[in-house]
Structure 1
Amino acid sequence: MRGHDWINSCFPDELIVEIFSRLHSKSTRDACSLVCRRWFRLERRTRTTLRIGATHLFLHRLPSRFSNIRNLYIDERLSIPLHLVRPINLLPFLHLNLNLNLNFIFIFIFFQGKRRPNDEEGDLDSLCLSDAGLSALGEGFPKLHKLGLIWCSNVSSDGLTSLARKCTSLKALDLQGCYVGDQGLAAVGQCCKQLEDLNLRFCEGLTDTGLVELALGVGKSLKSLGVAACAKITDISMEAVGSHCRSLETLSLDSECIHNKGLLAVAQGCPTLKVLKLQCINVTDDALQAVGANCLSLELLALYSFQRFTDKGLRGIGNGCKKLKNLTLIDCYFISDKGLEAIANGCKELTHLEVNGCHNIGTLGLEYIGRSCQYLTELALLYCHRIGDVSLLEVGKGCKFLQVLHLVDCSSIGDDAMCSIANGCRNLKKLHIRRCYKIGNKGLIAVGKHCKSLTDLSIRFCDRVGDGALTAIAEGCSLHYLNVSGCHQIGDAGVIAIARGCPQLCYLDVSVLQNLGDMAMAELGEHCTLLKEIVLSHCRQITDVGLTHLVKSCTLLESCQMVYCSGITSAGVATVVSSCPNMKKVLVEKWKVSQRTKRRAGSVIACLCVDL
């Protein structure tokens, strides 16, 4: 019978909750929750995860509304720019069956109003999580498993202590940017015996005392630890970790206060270590050799800005860490080809390699990798001016499973290298090249001919790449992502070929293409109806006419950037906004936005259009 609510009449709460629990799409669940008051209430029962910003005013309401929350993340980097906040009640609108995507648990009406100058600090403090709020969270969510307190600057040891005593099942705790002290961290160690994951990045109030107490308390369960910019945490803490945290699998250290002594203790005491990320300028080869000798299960090693160790340390890793799969070397100035040779000879299972700004690594080092590491799937070479074509010839011959290749400012790599990659690495799915001026049409044509699985291509500021390359790519590949920003030889012909050959295209960046005009926009509008993001900035030949053709069928567009396009006027901006109901971001000069456009799409234009 029309108008009769059969579902709510016949289905019990338990069955509706079970249905909601099987909906994995957040947007679908959000839409269902707005059907009626009952569905709104029942859907909240199925929520296990909340991500919110600065909402101290509403924390006391969370437990009663979301009774099954296990994972809670509060990030106060999500700042509120205006001064006054008033909550809006959603319930009067719940009779509307709207397919809305709710990105936040609460919706606020923000408005600019008059206030006294000395009220600002009080208003902001009221929006920040306090010790009282944290205590209330512990009271309301005693079964929390994961808690993130990101840059919650008003939280202290008192609040953390109160929460730790109530949330004894806590398994993951992120305190990034919180000024908590040793007392709070010690309480976590005493009460949360199941803690496995702890992040202490930018916790400036901590000293060795707190971390040592924590290691004593949760040493048997702790598996992951991150420490960065904690000036008072030294080798003493790392020695405690090495002594008590025998199950530690992941360690991330960024500190000038950690020396060999601390890392040696971890290497000797944590044999199950699998992930090690270090930015410690006072650590030397001796520590890395200890890691190689003791941490035989190591799978990922990332070394940042090391200036006190050499190939000797990498030889230790190559000799001992046979299971190493992922190696990142950034600004490691004293590592040479011999270091990579040791890795290639000892770590045959290597799948990911990034070499960034290591100026002593050249062609020979990468040749060793190409010959020995046949399972390599991802390779990134950034600012490697000494690595030439011959190295990628070996990679093309030996690394048949390569799927991702990044090349940035590699001035000695050219078309011969790309032809070798294309011929040998036919499973390539992602290719990103930036400012490699020797790479031109020849190399990209080979990629289009042989790499049929390529879906993600970025060729930025490569002056020798033109329309011929894009035509070959369009004939051989079905791209979803394309960025050709700054490739001045590319014009309408190349982009038209892409439009006709890649109907699955979702992202396109054609910024700074001076020869691109309205014909290409018309073809994109006709063939690439799935397009969601487009960047047209600094394209002076594109006009309102081209934009009209583009948005006629590309109604799924969510983002459009068209800064410094002299042919685009306020009429073109209005056309984009009115034709694309899903639009979330429009970047354009402020003076091109009419008052009518502001009224029609204020949330899109007002926030994102600026004077440039």
Structure 2
Amino acid sequence: MSHSPPPSNKNNNNRPRPLSLPDVWFKDQDLKHVIFKMQLKSLSATASASTSPSDSPCERNKKISLQSLTVGPPAPDYTSLISNELLLRVFSKLPISQHVPNSLVCKRWLYLHGRLVQSLKVVDWSFVESGRVFIRFPNLNDIDLLRACIRAPRNSGIVVTDNKSLSVHVDDTRLSLANGLFIDQNDDVLPYGSVDSGLELLAKNYPNLRRIAVIGVSEHGLLSVADECRTLQELELHCCGDFSLKGISRCQNLQVVKLIGCVDGFYNSVISDIGLTILAQGCRRLVKLELCGCEGSYDGIKAIGQCCQMLEELTLRDHRMDGGWLAALSFCGNLKTLKLQSCKGIDLSPGPREHLGSCLAIEELHLQRCHMKDKEGVEALFFVCENVREIVLQNCWRLEDEVFGLASICRRVKCLSLEGCSLLTTGGLESVILSWNELQRLRVVSCNKIKDVEVSSALASLFCVLKELKWRPDSRSLLASVLEGTGVGRKGGWLFKGLKV
């Protein structure tokens, strides 16, 4: 019997049809699937033969599961069909908390995870010197080198922290140092040459850096960053001297600077009026400036006010300013927020009122963990900030009724927040806020001498016209529960999130 040939296909002129992606996939994989199924059947038969009727169901399942872990090929990786660009788009939509677990799946996902990371805190300086950081994370724009610049024992269980800005591991030998410092600048901090060379490598490989935090850098290292990283906007410098700040002069787009000079228990470095003047003349686009443990006086603050005309926020933490520096704040024409944190004094010699001036644009005044025993300095501060709209007093020492009464000069206050003011009484609070005709928001938390029973009718009437009220002076306060549902603190038809009666 003869077989007739198959009919020819005239439409494609006997040319074979090109294979599509499913054809290619199944052509290469069909034999593997058959072999895999045969192995599964063999595994099932082997498992059935190895189990005995006397075995319990748990033991039988345990034997089968153990054998399934040691026999059979791995499951096919279907993500290999997806391009790197598409996977990166998928990973970028996931929460940041899932990035690290995803990077442990395989080498390819680890490689892609490094392309997503833009902010990094380095703890080992060799990671920078060896160049591994550039291969692992090629797209960084924010790098923190604080812990990497300090030689500290990694296996120590003792961690010393300075107000969350710096944390180092120390051993028991550091707890008994004669100089009283946990960090020895000569032995524990990397030398200037090493830090400068590391910054040069970072600047060449990351020209798009926007933020750098570093300890013990010199002028040469900062100049290399300024020349390569034209878009640098934020800089945090620890343990550097006045003349190291010369390198900042070329950072044309720098907007946020944090200078940490002397930190009790950690290191002693001096930033004086010389450094503040260098900074002011070089960084004229500053918007936020934070000075921690810095020395200075009227001249340094005046230079900042005159040169940095875009400055909107100034923070002084544990300052060591000479007397009379408050008068220089009047040169900060666009200053909107002034923060004093952990200051042992405000201004020991502010001078007469006619020489103080005032900050007309200021809107917010924050005092946190400050000593308020200096009445003359506190009065000068309120006088300079007499146009302030918001006052925040948090855990301030020696804030008594007489000291708080000095704030009555600020007639335009709309928001007052008190927290941890243990010496302030109900009468002291009432004597000030009743004179503020524009007050709209009031927050009183953990002020134990302010009592519900001492609230007068005038103060209660003020509560009724406030747009926002949070009243938690102590754990025994019942006023909040009594006022709940009465509408007090809700006049005006709007609320700020997190603040309620």
Counterpart Cα distance in 2 of 1:255 and 1:273: 20
Report whether the alignment pairs 1:420 with 2:479.
Answer: yes
2:80 to 8, 17, 32: 8
2:254 to 195, 204, 221: 195
CA contact (8 A) 1:241 1:266 kept: no
Counterpart Cα distance in 1 of 2:350 and 2:484: 35
Mapping 1:292-371, distance limit 5 Å: 293-302=358-367, 304-306=370-372, 307-309=374-376, 312-313=379-380, 316=383, 319-321=386-388, 323-328=389-394, 330-332=396-398, 335-336=402-403, 338-343=405-410, 345-347=411-413, 349-354=414-419, 356=421, 359=423, 361-368=424-431
Q: Which has the larger radius of gyration?
A: 2
1:274 to 337, 351, 354: 337
Distance 1:18 1:194, change over 3 A: same
TM-score, length-scaled by structure 2: 0.62
Distance 1:186 1:318, change over 3 A: closer
Mapping 1:598-609, distance limit 5 Å: none
Distance 1:54 1:290, change over 3 A: farther
- The DSSP-based 3-state class of the residue aligned with 1:346 is coil
Distance 1:20 1:126, change over 3 A: same
TM-score, length-scaled by structure 1: 0.52
Name the Cα RMSD after superposition: 4.0
Counterpart Cα distance in 2 of 1:136 and 1:156: 15
- 1:420 maps to a residue whose letter is L
Equivalent residue for 2:271?
A: 206
- The DSSP-based 3-state class of the residue aligned with 2:468 is coil
Counterpart Cα distance in 1 of 2:250 and 2:339: 27
Equivalent residue for 2:110?
A: 40
Counterpart Cα distance in 2 of 1:15 and 1:257: 55
Distance 1:159 1:369, change over 3 A: same
Deviations 1:191-244 (A, max 9, x none): 21111111112251433323212211212x10111222234x333221210111
CA contact (8 A) 1:55 1:127 kept: no
Distance 1:388 1:283, change over 3 A: farther
Equivalent residue for 2:293?
A: 229
CA contact (8 A) 1:234 1:258 kept: yes
Deviations 1:552-602 (A, max 9, x none): xxxxxxxxxxxxxxxxxxxxxxxxxxxxxxxxxxxxxxxxxxxxxxxxxxx
- The DSSP-based 3-state class of the residue aligned with 1:147 is strand
Q: CA deviation at 1:328?
A: 4.4
Counterpart Cα distance in 1 of 2:395 and 2:409: 14
Equivalent residue for 2:136?
A: 65
Mapping 1:445-460, distance limit 5 Å: none
Equivalent residue for 1:238?
A: 301
Q: CA deviation at 1:404?
A: 6.9
Q: How many residues align?
A: 369
Deviations 1:236-255 (A, max 9, x none): 22121011111111112232
CA contact (8 A) 1:273 1:298 kept: yes
- The DSSP-based 3-state class of the residue aligned with 2:376 is coil
Q: Which consecutive residues of structure 2, in runs of 5 or more, have no partner in the other structure?
A: 1-32, 34-73, 157-184, 263-268, 488-497
CA contact (8 A) 1:225 1:250 kept: yes
Equivalent residue for 1:143?
A: 208
Counterpart Cα distance in 2 of 1:301 and 1:267: 17
- The DSSP-based 3-state class of the residue aligned with 1:330 is coil
Q: CA deviation at 1:272?
A: 3.1
Counterpart Cα distance in 1 of 2:354 and 2:450: 27
Q: CA deviation at 1:28?
A: 1.0
Deviations 1:351-382 (A, max 9, x none): 5223635x4x4322222566567643532345
Q: CA deviation at 1:124?
A: 6.7
Counterpart Cα distance in 1 of 2:188 and 2:119: 25
Counterpart Cα distance in 2 of 1:126 and 1:187: 19
**What percentage of aligned pairs have identical amino acids?**
21
Equivalent residue for 1:17?
A: 88
